[in-house]
Amino acid sequence: MRRLAAASAFIVLACAPLSSARAGVYGDDLSRCLVKSTTSADQVAFMVWMFSALGAHPAVKSYTTFTDAQRDATSATAAHLMQRLMTEDCRSEAVAALKYEGESSIQLAFSGFGQAAVRGLMSDPAVNAAMEKLGEHIDGAKFEALAKDAGLATNKPAAK
């Protein structure tokens, strides 16, 4: 149940910037192309940019060590990556998404790309270990009650 709680919390955080809109077929094609056309290094560069941008928020800025120059460098790297993906690697998919589904399809496609990049980072054992620390602070009984209220089976063995 702790892993479920930790995973749920992370999913909420990872998906927070997503709108409730759903991508159409062309946006989905673009999202798949973005993922297919990037290396793990590209995905990490994108996540570093996201991390540096989020780290600029006054509530968390004191927890990061990004200088303005580093933040600018991560922005430049991400901009070049996005430009390459949209104008070269996935140009036909981007044109179709824009033409048939509008500008919001680009945001949704990059949200899908961001989710894939997060999954890549989550596969690292150190990240998993850090994420599992959340479970150490979760009241399992509250999540058991939540699951029970939802009609889900719990991890507790049946009474004999």
The model's pTM: 0.72
In this model, does residue 21 exceed pLDDT 90? no
Matching residue, tokens 């990240």: 127
> For 100-108, what is the mean pLDDT?
92
Instruction: Dihedral sign for Cα 79, 83, 86, 89, please.
Output: negative
Whether 90 contacts 98, CB under 8 Å: no
State the DSSP code for 56: T
Give the SS3 label for residue 4.
helix
Q: Which residues contact 100 (CB under 8 A, 6 or more apart)?
A: 24, 26
> Looking at the chain, how many residues does it have?
160
Confidence of residue 132 (pLDDT cuts 50, 70, 90): confident
- Can you say how many angstroms the Cα of residue 3 is from the centroid of all Cα atoms in its chain? 18
> For 27-38, what is the mean pLDDT?
95
State the pLDDT at residue 83.
95
> For 121-126, what is the mean pLDDT?
88
Q: Which long-range contacts (CB under 8 A, 24 or more apart) does 119-125 make?
A: 120/40, 120/43, 120/44, 121/43, 121/44, 121/47, 122/10
Q: Which residues contact 37 (CB under 8 A, 6 or more apart)?
A: 85, 89, 90
Rounded CA separation 113/145 (Å): 35
Q: In the chain, what is the greatest distance between 2 CA atoms, to the nearest angstrom? A: 64
State the pLDDT at residue 15.
47
